[in-house]
A and B are shown apart, each in its own frame.
Chain A
Amino acid sequence: MTDSTAGPQPGDNEPNGDLTSGLSAHAAAVGDEEPEQPRHRVIGTPPPAEARTLLKTPPPGAPGGPPVPRQRELPADPDDLVSAKRAERVVVACFLIATLAGLGFIASYLIFQVHSVTNVLHSNLALGSTMGLAFLALAVGAVIWVRRLMPWVERTEARKLLRSSPEDRAAFAETFEEGAEASQFTKRPMVRRTLIAATVPVALAPIVLLRDLGPLPGTSLDHTVWRKGMRLLNYGANTPIRPADFASPGGMVTVVPDGFQDDFNALAKAAVIIIKFPPNIIQFSAKPQPGRVVQNWTVDNIVAYSKICTHVGCPAALYEQTTHHILCPCHQSTFDAARGAQVIFGPATRALPQLPMTVDAQGFLIARHDFIEPVGPSFWERGPS
Chain B
Amino acid sequence: MLAGLSYAAVTDGSASAAAHSVTGQAQISEGRAIFLQECSSCHGLFAQGTPGVAPGLIGVGAAAVDFQVSTGRMPAKEPVAEQPRKPVSLTPQQIHSLAAYISSLGGGPAIPTSADISQAGANPGLGQQLFVADCAQCHNFVGAGGALTFGKYAPPLTKSTPRQIFEAMLTGPEAMPVFNNTTITPQQKRDIIAYVTQTRAEPNPGGFSLGRVGPVSEGLVAFIGLLLFMVLAALWITAKHGKAHD
Judged by a CB distance under 8 angstroms, whether A299 is at the interface is no
Contact indicator per residue, chain B 110-129, by CB within 8 Å of chain A (1) or not (0): 00000000000000001001
B175 touches A322 (CB 8 A): yes
A345 touches B244 (CB 8 A): no
Please judge, given known A-B contacts A143-B237, A237-B188, A253-B134, whether A79 and B243 are in contact too, CB under 8 Å.
yes
Residues of A within 8 A of B154 (CB): 318
Judged by a CB distance under 8 angstroms, whether B33 is at the interface is no
Tell me how far the C-beta of B180 lies from the nearest C-beta in chain A, rounded to whole angstroms: 4
Please judge, given known A-B contacts A320-B148, A323-B149, whether A254 and B134 are in contact too, CB under 8 Å.
yes
Complex: A95 Cα to B149 Cα, angstroms: 52
B134 touches A251 (CB 8 A): no
Which residue of the partner chain, among B133, B241, B243, contacts A235 with CB atoms under 8 Å? B133
Closest chain B residue to A275, Cβ basis: B177
A320 touches B180 (CB 8 A): no
Judged by a CB distance under 8 angstroms, whether A138 is at the interface is no
A329 touches B137 (CB 8 A): yes
Closest chain A residue to B128, Cβ basis: A236
Please judge, given known A-B contacts A147-B237, A152-B241, A254-B133, whether A249 and B146 are in contact too, CB under 8 Å.
no
Judged by a CB distance under 8 angstroms, whether A96 is at the interface is no
Residues of A within 8 A of B133 (CB): 235-236, 253-254
Among B129, B134, B188, find the residue whose CB has the most chain A CB atoms closer than 10 A.
Answer: B134
Contact indicator per residue, chain B 21-59, by CB within 8 Å of chain A (1) or not (0): 000000000000000000000000000000000000000
Contact indicator per residue, chain A 235-270, by CB within 8 Å of chain B (1) or not (0): 111000110111111111110000000000000000
Closest chain A residue to B129, Cβ basis: A236
Complex: A248 Cα to B133 Cα, angstroms: 19
B177 touches A247 (CB 8 A): no
Tell me how far the C-beta of A308 lies from the nearest C-beta in chain B, rounded to whole angstroms: 13
B130 touches A321 (CB 8 A): no
Which residue of the partner chain, among B130, B131, B174, B237, contacts A322 with CB atoms under 8 Å? B174
Closest chain B residue to A143, Cβ basis: B237
Closest chain A residue to B132, Cβ basis: A236
B178 touches A321 (CB 8 A): yes
Complex: A254 Cα to B178 Cα, angstroms: 13
Tell me how far the C-beta of B172 lies from the nearest C-beta in chain A, rounded to whole angstroms: 5
A246 touches B182 (CB 8 A): yes
Complex: A222 Cα to B138 Cα, angstroms: 29
Q: Is the interface of A mostly helix, strand, loop or mixed?
A: loop
The count of chain B contact residues (Cβ–Cβ below 8 Å) is 35
Judged by a CB distance under 8 angstroms, whether A354 is at the interface is no
B146 touches A329 (CB 8 A): yes
Judged by a CB distance under 8 angstroms, whether B17 is at the interface is no
Residues of A within 8 A of B182 (CB): 242, 244-247
Closest chain A residue to B131, Cβ basis: A236
Residues of B within 8 A of A318 (CB): 137-138, 146, 148, 154
Number of A-B contacts (CB under 8 A): 101
Residues of A within 8 A of B188 (CB): 236-237
Residues of A within 8 A of B134 (CB): 235-236, 252-254, 317
Residues of A within 8 A of B172 (CB): 248, 250-251, 321
Contact indicator per residue, chain B 159-177, by CB within 8 Å of chain A (1) or not (0): 0000000000000101111
Which residue of the partner chain, among A151, A152, A252, A329, contacts B177 with CB atoms under 8 Å? A252
B177 touches A321 (CB 8 A): yes
A320 touches B130 (CB 8 A): no
Tell me how far the C-beta of A74 lies from the nearest C-beta in chain B, rounded to whole angstroms: 12
Judged by a CB distance under 8 angstroms, whether B77 is at the interface is no
A152 touches B149 (CB 8 A): no
Complex: A152 Cα to B126 Cα, angstroms: 67
Contact indicator per residue, chain B 187-202, by CB within 8 Å of chain A (1) or not (0): 0100000000000000
Judged by a CB distance under 8 angstroms, whether B183 is at the interface is yes
Closest chain B residue to A255, Cβ basis: B133
Tell me how far the C-beta of A324 lies from the nearest C-beta in chain B, rounded to whole angstroms: 10
Docked complex: A115-166 residues within 8 A CB-CB of B: 143, 146-147, 151-153
Residues of A within 8 A of B132 (CB): 236
B245 touches A319 (CB 8 A): no
Tell me how far the C-beta of A42 lies from the nearest C-beta in chain B, rounded to whole angstroms: 36
A327 touches B183 (CB 8 A): no
Among B177, B178, B244, find the residue whose CB has the most chain A CB atoms closer than 10 A.
Answer: B177
Please judge, given known A-B contacts A5-B245, A236-B129, whether A321 and B176 are in contact too, CB under 8 Å.
yes
Judged by a CB distance under 8 angstroms, whether A315 is at the interface is yes
Judged by a CB distance under 8 angstroms, whether B86 is at the interface is no
A253 touches B179 (CB 8 A): yes
Complex: A153 Cα to B175 Cα, angstroms: 64
A327 touches B177 (CB 8 A): no
B244 touches A248 (CB 8 A): no
Docked complex: B140-161 residues within 8 A CB-CB of A: 146, 148-150, 152, 154
B137 touches A317 (CB 8 A): yes
Complex: A319 Cα to B148 Cα, angstroms: 9
Can you list 29 A-B pairs, Cβ within 8 angstroms, ordered by A? A79-B243, A146-B237, A151-B244, A152-B245, A236-B129, A236-B131, A236-B132, A236-B133, A236-B188, A237-B130, A242-B182, A247-B182, A248-B180, A250-B177, A251-B172, A252-B177, A253-B179, A254-B134, A318-B137, A318-B154, A320-B149, A321-B172, A321-B175, A321-B176, A323-B149, A323-B150, A325-B149, A332-B149, A345-B149
* Beyond A146-B237, A236-B133, 14 extra complex contacts between A and B, CB < 8 Å: A147-B241, A152-B241, A235-B134, A242-B182, A245-B180, A247-B180, A248-B172, A248-B183, A251-B177, A251-B179, A317-B137, A320-B149, A320-B175, A327-B148
Spell out B's residues near A (CB within 8 Å): 126, 129-134, 137-138, 146, 148-150, 152, 154, 172, 174-180, 182-185, 188, 233, 237, 240-241, 243-245
Q: Which 10 A-B pairs have CB atoms at the shortest separation, nearest pair first?
A: A152-B244, A245-B182, A320-B175, A252-B177, A236-B130, A248-B180, A236-B129, A235-B133, A236-B133, A250-B178
